Amino acid sequence: MALLISIVLAFFVPYPWNLLVVLGGISVEVLEVIWGRRLARRWRPQTGVETLVGQRAVVVVTCRPTGQVRLNGELWEAVSDEGADPGDIVRVDAVEGLTLVVSRSTSPS
């Protein structure tokens, strides 16, 4: 956008200054691209099963040792060595295929 504005502005500025205006617009654009790429690398979208680990889920079907939990509005097969009853809050420890390995959560949130 800065480059476009500087090109339009260059038509209304006398000769030596119009080159400086365009060069200034180019440098602002380059800095903007560098800054945008740094932000894009820092804020990677988090998708996939690796983001499920550590989240809390609610037990829907008794897990002794297998059952089902609801996580982010989805039903998942779950395995729990400790066992959990419907309504219990569990923490996702690992993901094995399409099955979540869960354990009882000690904190209410």
d(CA 79, CA 66): 4
d(CA 84, CA 100): 13
> Coil, strand, or helix at residue 8?
helix
Give the pLDDT score at 108. 60
Give the pLDDT score at 101. 96
Give the pLDDT score at 47. 80
Q: Please answer whether residues 74 and 96 qualify as being in contact, where contact means their C-beta atoms are separated by less than 8 angstroms.
A: no
Q: What is the mean pLDDT of each run of 10 residues along the chain (109 residues)?
A: 91 92 96 93 80 94 95 95 94 95 79
The helix (H) or strand (E) run that includes residue 78 is strand 74-79
Which domains, from first to last, does the chain contain?
2-42 (no CATH), 49-104 (2.40.50.140)
Does the pTM of the predicted model rise above 0.75? no
Question: How crowded is the C-beta side of 100, counted as CA atoms within 13 Å?
Answer: 29
